[in-house]
Structure 1
Amino acid sequence: MASFDWSDEENDLIVGDYFDMLRMEIAGESFNKAERNRMLQSRLTTRSRGSIEFKHQNISAAMLGLNQPWIEGYKPMSNFQFNLVEAVVRQLDKPHSWAANEFLKQAHKGSPRSANFSVQEDIPLWIGPPPTVSNAPPPVEHTLLERILRKYDVAERDAANRALGKAGEERALKHEVQSLTLAGRTDLAKKVQWTSETEGDGAGYDIASFELDGSPRLIEVKTTNGWERSPFHISRNELAVAEERRDSWCLLRLWNFAKEPRAFEIRPPLDAHVSLMATSYMASFASENRPLQT
């Protein structure tokens, strides 16, 4: 069997098949991996069953690096051509992709495809400890992840996906109302506000909720389909509000959102939990900054 590099056409074919299986897995539909492997062998005539299997694991590694979920049973494995990542990005950018905005919109309309998702919404959101060096799963080839991050701003891709962000905020809002209600504070549950929807993004937080004692709980929600250590963007205004209201502000990080939403919270100071890196600068014309000449 062939040992030469995979072509773009071959990558596009196997990545497209992988995305179809992932869509089915997320929808709770069954599929036969061995059967699909045989189908691919009939079209990729120079590739063996084992090479196709390993390529599926390579795709899982690329998905991890791009803040996306991967298929259960295809453990991420690195050591592959970088053009595979490019093939995954091409698939992610297709409007009919499972990861497109319309997919997430349908997940909140009670469509047959979202039956599992609706059940999850009735279950309190799982909130665990923030990731640390000791409790995080080992990364897949750290240099590979860094290379993907350098070429593709994966955090920006999440931030730009408005449907993903809105779906995450809605999930967090329902969790807050449900938690207060179950704790016997229906009076507070009725006052929880989706601030980013009613007032816009300028408040520095998305949800205005309450602790059980009635003190304010201001929640900034960051959502990803990827794993718990996926990077995310945070604005200067959000950082400022976090510092000004550090007793009440928290960041709720939702991850693995498309499959089984989980979360953790971090509280100010944020640099005690994450590394903050400036990614943009304010540019002004030199004449505006020049001192007046006398």
Structure 2
Amino acid sequence: MSIHKLKDPDAVKLALDEFVQLGRTAFLEKYGFGRAREYMLRDSLTGNLYDSKAIVGAAYGYAFPDEGPLSADVFSGGEATVERVLTDLGFEVVRVGQEWSRAEVEATVRDYLQMLSFESQHLPYSKSEHNARLRSLLKIRSKGAVELKHQNISAVLHQLGLPYIQGYKPRTNLQELLRRVVIEFISSNDGPMSTVLDNLESTTDPGEQLFTGVLVAPPVVEVLQPTPRNARLPRKYDYAARDERNRKLGHSGEAWVVGFEQNRLENEQRPDLATKIDWLSERLGDGTGYDILSFESSELARFIEVKTTNGGSLTPFVVSRNEKDFSDETGDAFCLYRVFHFASSPKLFILRGGLSSNLLLEPMDYRARLKAIRS
């Protein structure tokens, strides 16, 4: 029994079909192989990667059914054996497990920012198609590896307080080169990120006025690596500050929350309290430390501060000193309503109690005046 007897490419194709049908885990368990650490067979049409040694072992069984498939301990999966056999049969074998190069990282960042631009404009796009097209360039990267890199890019953008693709939840165990490339792209290419931010700011009306299913649990936040000191971006990229300055968006978000509260109290059989809701920021302006006075069904006051964004649930936001102090004074009666995805499909989570206990607060500005000169 020798893998060099394997001369039939159709036997390899049958093994590949079985791999796809069973899935990687089941296929490897069936034939008794571990996951490939270095050499993978690559489908030139789809870019999918397959464990080369396991494929050869299974293909041998298809080619020689009387002998059966080869077990993992019969042959090695290195360059001189499996790679040579598969290459001679017309298949492509690539070496994986290498650190991502700058060219690979740059291509992935470009692809990600293109998808982010589409998303900010509410334009349809296919993540799987982007993944496949990117893998046709990267050659040795699997679908899962590309997805993880996209999640890593989300983590960098989140650390910088910038919007990211909602389908790629931030994953922070990332390559330092990736962090540098993302920062370089944003700092040196003024167009893409500014366009994304402008697109997200452009729509200030809610995607819908229905309130069914809009209340969700607060997101679970992964521990972030410290942002490098040299990662300070121009002020125009401060998405939280942009949201705060966008008065029309803030006003629309507050109006939407008033409707949500009226609907909530009516569902709790307290239509009498729904009529007593007071939109203070509309009536008196900012400065009271909260936006809306609403009620619990027990008639206790609920002081609501609304923060609205067209970005995702983890988008940073600006909190004033007055809001912080008021929340600390009122305790559990204070509720921060974080409204997100406002322009597309509004969602809401609620943080109850003092802002200091719920949020990581970072100083942004200082009030400055000249120092007195001592004589």
Cα–Cα, structure 1 residues 138 and 15, in superposed 2: closer, same or farther, change >3 Å? closer
Counterpart-to-counterpart distance in 1, 2:128 and 2:362: 44
Match of 2:195 in 1: 94
Q: Deviations over 1:272-291 (max 9, x none)?
A: 3334444332222335xx79
Counterpart-to-counterpart distance in 1, 2:148 and 2:232: 24
Q: Is the 8 A contact 2:265 2:271 kept in 1?
A: yes
Match of 1:143 in 2: 225
Shift of 1:167: 4.2
2:261 is the counterpart of 1:176: yes
2:214 is the counterpart of 1:214: no
Match of 2:165 in 1: 70
Counterpart-to-counterpart distance in 2, 1:4 and 1:12: 12
2:365 is the counterpart of 1:284: no
Three-state SS of the structure 2 residue aligned to 1:203 is coil
- 1:186-201 matches, cutoff 5 A: 186-201=271-286
Cα–Cα, structure 1 residues 32 and 220, in superposed 2: closer, same or farther, change >3 Å? closer
Shift of 1:196: 2.1
Q: Deviations over 1:90-148 (max 9, x none)?
A: 4332178542x11x32x53xxxxxxxx327x33153153x67xxxx3533xx225x338
Q: Which has the higher contact order (CA 8 A, sep 6+)?
A: 1
- Identity across aligned pairs (percent)? 27
Three-state SS of the structure 2 residue aligned to 1:82 is helix
Counterpart-to-counterpart distance in 2, 1:245 and 1:54: 42
Residue 253 of structure 1: which of 323, 338, 346 is its match? 338
Residue 263 of structure 1: which of 302, 324, 349 is its match? 349
Cα–Cα, structure 1 residues 67 and 208, in superposed 2: closer, same or farther, change >3 Å? farther
Cα–Cα, structure 1 residues 207 and 6, in superposed 2: closer, same or farther, change >3 Å? farther
Match of 2:41 in 1: none
Three-state SS of the structure 2 residue aligned to 1:126 is coil
Cα–Cα, structure 1 residues 15 and 70, in superposed 2: closer, same or farther, change >3 Å? closer
Counterpart-to-counterpart distance in 2, 1:169 and 1:85: 34
Residue 57 of structure 1: which of 151, 175, 200 is its match? 151
Match of 2:115 in 1: 18
Counterpart-to-counterpart distance in 1, 2:362 and 2:157: 23
Q: Is the 8 A contact 2:108 2:134 kept in 1?
A: no
Counterpart-to-counterpart distance in 2, 1:173 and 1:149: 42
Three-state SS of the structure 1 residue aligned to 2:195 is coil
Shift of 1:160: 3.6
Give the AA of the match of 2:306. Answer: V
Residue 202 of structure 1: which of 269, 287, 303 is its match? 287
Match of 1:118 in 2: 208
Counterpart-to-counterpart distance in 2, 1:34 and 1:190: 49
Which range moved further: 85-94 or 209-218?
Answer: 85-94
Cα RMSD after superposing both structures: 4.0
Give the number of the structure whose alpha-carbon radius of gyration is greater: 2
Give the AA of the match of 1:151. Answer: R
Q: Is the 8 A contact 1:11 1:87 kept in 2?
A: no
Give the AA of the match of 1:204. Answer: G
Give the AA of the match of 1:72. Answer: G
**Structure 1 unmatched ranges of 5 or more:** 109-116
Cα–Cα, structure 1 residues 156 and 149, in superposed 2: closer, same or farther, change >3 Å? farther
Q: Is the 8 A contact 1:69 1:256 kept in 2?
A: no
How many equivalent pairs are there? 262
Three-state SS of the structure 2 residue aligned to 1:237 is helix
Cα–Cα, structure 1 residues 163 and 4, in superposed 2: closer, same or farther, change >3 Å? farther
**Structure 2 unmatched ranges of 5 or more:** 1-93
Three-state SS of the structure 1 residue aligned to 2:278 is coil
Counterpart-to-counterpart distance in 1, 2:222 and 2:317: 19
Three-state SS of the structure 2 residue aligned to 1:118 is coil
Give the AA of the match of 1:182. Answer: N
Q: Report the TM-score, using the length of structure 2 for normalisation.
A: 0.55
